[in-house]
Every structure is written in structure tokens, then in C-alpha cells.
Structure 1
Amino acid sequence: MTMYLLKLNIALIVLFGFYKLMFSGDTFFSWRRATLIGMYLVAMLVPGLNCSYWINKSVGMVSMANEYAAIVLPAVTITQGSGGAMNWESTAMVIYNMVVCLLLLRFLWQLGSIVRLKTQCKTADINGTKVYLLESNEGPFSFFNWIFINPTKHSRQEIDEIMTHELAHCRQRHSVDILFAELFAIAFWVNPFVWLLKREVRLNLEYLADNNVLANGTDSKEYQYHLLGLAYRKNVATISNNFNVLPLKKRIKMMNKKRTKKIAKAKYALYIPLAAMLLVVSNIETVARDIANVAKAIPMVKASVKQEKMVDLSSGNKATTVQESPKSVQPTKAIESADNKVEALADSKNAEMATQEVGNATEVANGEPTEQKPKKTPKKVYTVVEEMPAFNGNLNQWLAENMKYPSEALKNEEQGRVIVKFIVSKEGEVMEPEVINSVSPSLDKEALRVVSSMPKWKPGKANGKPVAVHYMLPVSFKLNGK
């Protein structure tokens, strides 16, 4: 919900800024009305529309999502006891909702005051239209098909102008726009641009009504003087269409403005690519956020800083390991020989020995040589799927047990978060690990070693079938006492 609100508010800021820059000065009031309502709809729909499937098919879009995730992930700090951020977020949402409730109560009170006024007022017929007669000094206004006016306070010419103005509001259903803008402002009150947009909606509706009055042959100068004469009258409620709505200066200026050339309507088409851009950016963020959320679910692993010597297994050296047979095997003991070889000794004769030479793709197991076939890169790799890959077991525990702090990093007091990107194949194998957020060569190498040595995962699924999926894993190295 928080991310939806953030995206909606950002979209609204961009759309409103574009509107003020491109359209606020023209005289296409009907087009502007449609554009303003469209801005609300686009702002609400963009965060919710999901086109991540299309983004996953585009190499460029996936690359952008990965770059975004690489920036987002290092900023996330997850520790075993962290929970303050969530508590703060929950508190903020409670406060937010409380303000929404207060504004909603205010809105309902205003709505009720208009309904109550309607039941209290007498009715009359003016120019063939039913009106509700005000007895106080409020200015004339309308709400849907209800027109409120005090005829005793106006001349005959003023009454005709007021009726023409208010009938334009009624016939064009301007109250729908006002209620929509009001409810939107209540729901997203924290964004100041929501209130600016609401004011812009109301002002444009007055432009439409004023334009209708002048189109009926009313002298513009006299009409403007009448508006100024009514400026001191108070309004009943902000959700109604008030005849003397401020700012009058802008309304008068717009009446005297030269009509915009029709060819300028073509610029409204620019909203289509702008909306498309917002949709793409929102979904790129969604894809990257999903990647980040997977990583955030993994608590920070602190490598134990023990003075363990890391054995060099570079090309030319051999490592001898023990593989467990179906029979019981006693715990092994590892020692380092003088010629840089590691030998594993078992207390049971039931152990089957296997020797792998680093640098050569040959492995000897059970006395028979076998070839280690290179893993083929999947033809299609997803970024986000319905069911993301999952580690079989406790990933946090596995990392803690298998990650060692490189002696070089200990010596140089290096620490930080290395982000490793890899592919979990449809068979669950970890493939093609690469560092996308580097700390130091020694820490990068250890992170790659840990990831490369992972057992098979539970593969991700798309449409119920196992597929290859990109995965990002943050491996955090932290020195004790640092």
C-alpha cells in the first residue's frame, strides 16, 4: 500500500507539472476538463497496472530493472532484531488514516449542510427552472440540478447571468468533477499537488460556465463587474459550484484572453507517451522491487571472524575430499600438508574417496574417471515469476555455516555487502554467478565461492511450470566489533 501511494503521488506530480507547463494557458476548457479527470485516472491506474511480463521479454528493460535493484539493495539493512521500520510505517499509516477519516467527516458534513438547506428553502420558478430561494446573504450556487439563489439581492440582468452560469454547471454535470476531486484529495491528502489539482479542476469548471454566459451574448465587461460585486458574498460549502468562486482575477483574465488556435489541440496527444512512460517506469520499479524484496527476506549474515587459514586451491594444487557413502561415516578431520595439498581423513573405512583437480574438468569418483560437463545457459531467463525460486532449507543458516572470512580481507579490515546475481535453472541448479555490487576482490571471490557451492534450489515457476529465473543475493561481511 505504501509503495502504491508513493507511485501514485509521484505520477500525479509529473502529470500536474506537465499540465501547468503545456495546457494551463489555453482556452480549450472542455479538453482541459477531460485532461484533468484523465490525470486522476492515470495516476490511480499506473501503480496498479502490471506489464512486468512484457518488461521481462525486453533485454533493455530487464537490464534497467537489474540496475535499479542493484542501487536499491545496498541501501537495505536487515538484521535479526530489526522491526522498528515496520513499526514506524504502521504508526504513519494509522496517522494517515486518521486524517483521512477527519477529512471525510468534514466532507459529509458539507454534503449534509447542502441537503439540509434544500429541505429548508422555499422553491420558485425562474426562467422556467426550479430554484431554491435563499433568505440569507450567501452567494448563488448550484449542486447537481439544485440551484440556490436569493433573487431579492440581484437585478434582473444579474439573475439572468447567474441562471445561465449555474445552468451550465448543472447541464454539464460539473458537480461530478468536484466530488471526484474532493474525494481524491481526501484519500491522498498528504500530497500538496492533490490540493492544487483540485483547485485547478474547480477553476476550469468556472471557465466553462463563464464561457457559456458570454456565448449567450452577455456583455463581458458588465458580467465581470457583476462578478466583482458578488465577491464579498460568502459561500455555503466548498463542494458546490459557487457563482462568485475565487480567484476572480484569473477568471476575468481568461474571459479577455484571445482564443487559442485549434491546431494547438494537437499538443494534448503528448499525454499518451507521458502516461506510457509512467507505466513503464512504474513496472520497472516493480520488477526491481520484487528482486529487492527477495533479498530483503534474507537476514544479514555476519561472517564469524576466526583466524582460519584459507587454503589456496589455485591451478596446480589438488584437493582431496570425502564423499559420504550409503553406510555411516564418522566425522572427518582435515589437515594441510607441506606441499599445499589438503587431505581429508576419515575414521571409517566405509568412506569413498574422490579427488578433483582444480583447473582441470576431470573428476575421479569410485575409481572411475568422469567428465564434468559445462552447464548450458538457459535460452529464456525470467526476472520475476509467480513463484520465485526458494532455497531448500534455511538459507541464512547455510550461509553462516559455509561462509568464511578471507584472511586478506581480515588483514585489510575489509567489510561490506557483496551482491551476487545468478540464475536458478529450471532444474534448480545455481548457474553463472556474477558480482554486481563489489566490495573488494577477496570478499567478491568468497561471495562467488559461497554461491557457486550452493546445493540445488527449488526452481521458480511461471504458469505452473519450472523456469530459469534471475536471482540476486546480498552476502554481507562484517567484522566483529566494527
Structure 2
Amino acid sequence: MGIFIAYMIKSGFCLLLFYLLYKWQLAKETFFRVNRIMLLGFWVLAFLLPAIPLIKWGNTDLYAGLDVNRQAILNSLTNISLSAETNTDHHALILAWLICTGYIVGVVLIASKQLVSWTRLYLLIRRGRRIENKPFHLILTEGNQPPFSWMHYIVLSEKDYRENPTEILTHEMAHIRHHHSWDLLLADIGILLQWFNPAAWLLKQEMQSVHEYEADNAVLAAGIDAKSYQLLLIKKAVGTSRYTMANSFNHSSLKKRITMMLKEKSSPQARAKYIYILPLAALSVMAFARPEVSDVSAVLTKAKVTDLWTIPQEKTPEVKAQFPGGDDAFFQFLARNVKYPTLALEAGKQGRVACLATIGEDGTIKEVEITQSVDPALDAEVIRVIKKTPKWEPAKLAGKAVEYKIPLGFIFKVEGSDLHVQTESDTDIVIVGYGPQSNEE
């Protein structure tokens, strides 16, 4: 669940950027069809871009053989202790689980609201007087129901049908002909997933405005007098539609609609503004591909809503995880496998690399997190060696195997250097690298 929440946050960030771009450059243009396509494309891109596999660049062949079996190094390995306690930030985990739970509650509430609206729409269509027409179904209702269309249905009151049938039907037929209901359905699905994101709601409003601009343009193109049509819109501006998934004749942005009718058509050169979407999309991908951005969602990614109630019960295991054969076997394993990376040695890279190794319930190394870095090559060597270890004897709590974290420190030191590590611990493992001159001696 945490992975999905992290993905939704990234998707919401994309959606916000696209909305700001649209309001800044595109909202005032009269390219209604192109704007509609762009708005639909924003939804697709917002959910697609964060899902693109991230590429991590770096050295892959960093391991070179060194004489780590020397007695000095082997003796230094005996300084390690596996009895360190793991400090877990339960507050961060609780916050992550609360976010997951809150997101689910929001989705349920929005879905319930949409379901109520769908039910009311179905009942209204079912109870109204139906007049069959080949391209659409006309539903006439009693009272002052504002006109609207949904899919192949046009709903309006008996009074509107008697007084202004031509203007209203022409307007709603344009909605049906352009399949605007499918746009709103897509927007509702996006809002269901992005209910916490104001940009999602605002993008739907912009999409509804574009729909009305297209429909109004179709009415004027049919030869209906512009002034009489605008007066009709003002007359019908009282009241709002209760069906958010439908295209309402009295859409709230009346001033914008009249302004668009009177506005001169945008020049062809203005189409160049739509090219802005390309660098924005590339910027989004590059932002998500950066490791520091990807790591922000690490806590959420590991969160499970079902584990929320288990946090208070977490205790220190009575039996800590052990390397098979004990500490001596672990030291010997490190002596055989730890290597000072050649590239790092030649560049004189040295220092302390600290990590946190997570040992799973089955004894395998689940994760190695670098908590103090010196050089990518040295970090990679630490991860490689720890992940290469055989299955450990898992930690046990109340007789049951549990996950356990062990802090480890590795000091990489070039022979002959006067390296001093401020955070050096008595449990650190020292790996000495010997240069070419040392090997010749």
C-alpha cells in the first residue's frame, strides 16, 4: 500500500505542474479542441511519468582483489560486536500508516459521493418522460431541473422544452457529439485517486469549461443569434446541477463563456505554447529519477496499513540474529571476501562506511542501508559483501523469528596514511589497502 501512496504523491506533483502550466499559458486560448486534448493528456501523463523505471547511473565493476588475509586485518575484524541495539523511528512509521489509512478513508468517501450522484442520475432518467430520438434520448422532467446531458441522454424540464428547445438541444447535442461525458468520467476516476490534490479538482473544472466553450461555439456555428443565446445563459444561470458527472447547460463559469464567445480567435503562432509540455514532462522524469527524491518515499513504501496496530507491541528480541558458526566464522568470512576497490584505492579514497543490515525472519539479508557514505565504490563493496553472507540464524521474540537490524562500520584505510575518523567506534572493521609499492616490497 505504501508503494501506491508514494506513487500517488508523485503523480499529484505532476498534475499540479501541468495545471499551473495550463492556467499560465493555455487557458485563455481559443483552441478549444486542442485544450481539451491537452487536459486529457495531462491526466494520462500524470499517472504515466512516475511509473517510468528509474535509471541509476554508477560504477558496476568496482571490485578488485587485495591481500585482505593479512594477519593485521584479520585481527582488526575481531573488534566487531553484534550486540548493538537497533533504533527504530516508530513515530515516522506511525505517521506513514496514518497517511495510508487517511488516504483509504478519503477514497471511500469520494466513491460514496460519486455513487450517490450516479444513483440520483439513474433515478431521474428512469422517472422522466422519455422522447426517443435517433441520435439521443430526451428525458423531460417536472419542476425547474437545470438542463444537462450525459452520454446519449439529454435531460431538461418540460418548461424549457416548450420555451427554448432549439438553443438548449443544440448545445447539449454538441456535448454528446464530442463525447464529453467520457472526459468527465476519466476526471472523476482521477479525482477518486487524487482526492487530496486541489489540482485534480481544478483540472476537472477547466475541462468542464472547455466543454462549454466547444458547445457554445457549436450553437453559434448553427446560426443562433449570439445576443439572444447569451441572454438565455444569463436567464438559466440561477441554480446549479447536482450531477457532477454530467455536462450542465448552466455551467458556473458564465462570465468566461460569454468572454470566450466575444473573444477574437487565437493566432496560429499561439500554438507554439503547447510545446512547453515537452520540457515540463522531461523535468518531471528527471526529478523523480534523482535518488534523493526517490528516497523521500522510502518510509511510505514500507508501510502496511494492516500493521498499524502492531507497532506498540514491538520489543527487543530475546535472541539476537547470529552469523552461522558465531562471530569467529563471521570474521573469517569477511577476511576472505572484503576487498578494497581498485578504483577507490588508486584515487586515495578512504574513510568510514556505516550501514544497517536488515536480517529477515528467514535469516536472509533483506536490505543493506548505507547510513554514512564515503565513496560509491566503497559503499558498493560493503553492500556486496554483506549481501553475500549466507543465511543467518534469525532473531527471536517470544520464540518466534522476527526481523532484526544490525549496525556495522567499515573503515577503509590506505596503508601509510594518517587517517583519523571522528565517528570511529570500537566495533568498526578496518580494511587496509596496499598500494603498488607495498606489493613490490
Report the TM-score when normalising by structure 1. 0.58
CA contact (8 A) 2:140 2:158 kept: yes
Aligned 1:137-152 pairs, distance under 5 A:
137-152=144-159
CA–CA distance in structure 2, aligned partners of residues 391 and 261 of structure 1: 62
Letter in 2 for 1:37: L
* Cα distance change on mapping 1:451 and 1:153 into 2, 3 Å: same
The answer to whether the aligner puts 1:104 opposite 2:111 as a matched pair is: yes
CA–CA distance in structure 2, aligned partners of residues 419 and 232 of structure 1: 65
Identity %: 28
Greater per-residue helix proportion: 2
* Cα distance change on mapping 1:148 and 1:288 into 2, 3 Å: closer
Aligned length in residues: 319
Matched residue, 2:252 = 246
Greater per-residue strand proportion: 1
Query: Among 16, 20, 36, which residue is 2:19 paired with?
Result: 16
Residue aligned with 2:343, SS: coil
* Cα distance change on mapping 1:218 and 1:290 into 2, 3 Å: closer
Matched residue, 2:98 = 91
Matched residue, 2:209 = 203
Query: Among 174, 177, 184, which residue is 2:190 paired with?
Result: 184
Deviation of the 1:127 alpha carbon:
9.6
CA contact (8 A) 2:150 2:181 kept: yes
The answer to whether the aligner puts 1:133 opposite 2:140 as a matched pair is: yes
Query: Among 106, 114, 127, which residue is 2:121 paired with?
Result: 114
Letter in 2 for 1:277: L
Matched residue, 2:48 = 45
Deviation of the 1:198 alpha carbon:
1.4
CA contact (8 A) 2:340 2:412 kept: no
* Cα distance change on mapping 1:286 and 1:375 into 2, 3 Å: closer
CA–CA distance in structure 2, aligned partners of residues 79 and 273 of structure 1: 44
Letter in 1 for 2:424: E
The answer to whether the aligner puts 1:28 opposite 2:34 as a matched pair is: no
Residue aligned with 1:26, SS: coil
CA–CA distance in structure 1, aligned partners of residues 53 and 162 of structure 2: 58
Query: Among 426, 431, 438, which residue is 1:453 paired with?
Result: 431
Deviation of the 1:231 alpha carbon:
1.0
Query: Among 280, 284, 303, which residue is 1:278 paired with?
Result: 284
Deviation of the 1:148 alpha carbon:
0.9
Structure 1 stretch displaced more, 105-114 or 185-194: 185-194
CA–CA distance in structure 1, aligned partners of residues 47 and 420 of structure 2: 47
Query: Among 221, 224, 227, which residue is 1:221 paired with?
Result: 227
Residue aligned with 1:446, SS: coil
Report the TM-score when normalising by structure 2. 0.63
Structure 1 stretch displaced more, 23-32 or 423-432: 423-432
Deviation of the 1:185 alpha carbon:
1.4
Larger radius of gyration: 1
CA–CA distance in structure 2, aligned partners of residues 174 and 276 of structure 1: 29
User: Structure 2 stretches of 5 or more lacking a match?
Assistant: 61-84, 303-327, 329-338, 345-354, 361-370, 387-409, 414-418, 434-441
* Cα distance change on mapping 1:85 and 1:429 into 2, 3 Å: closer
Letter in 2 for 1:377: L
Deviation per CA, 1:258-309, whole angstroms, max 9, x where unpaired? 100122112212212211221121122478529988xx9xxxxxxxxxxxxx
The answer to whether the aligner puts 1:258 opposite 2:232 as a matched pair is: no
Query: Among 169, 172, 181, which residue is 1:166 paired with?
Result: 172
Letter in 2 for 1:35: M
Measured on the aligned residues, the alpha-carbon RMSD in Å equals: 3.8
CA contact (8 A) 1:138 1:234 kept: no
Consecutive aligned runs of 4 or more in structure 1 exceeding 6 Å deviation: 290-293, 389-394, 429-432
User: Structure 1 stretches of 5 or more lacking a match?
Assistant: 59-77, 297-328, 330-372, 379-388, 395-416, 435-440, 456-482
CA contact (8 A) 1:418 1:443 kept: no
Deviation of the 1:25 alpha carbon:
0.8
Residue aligned with 1:231, SS: coil
Matched residue, 2:69 = none
Larger RCO, structure (CA 8 Å, separation 6 or more): 2
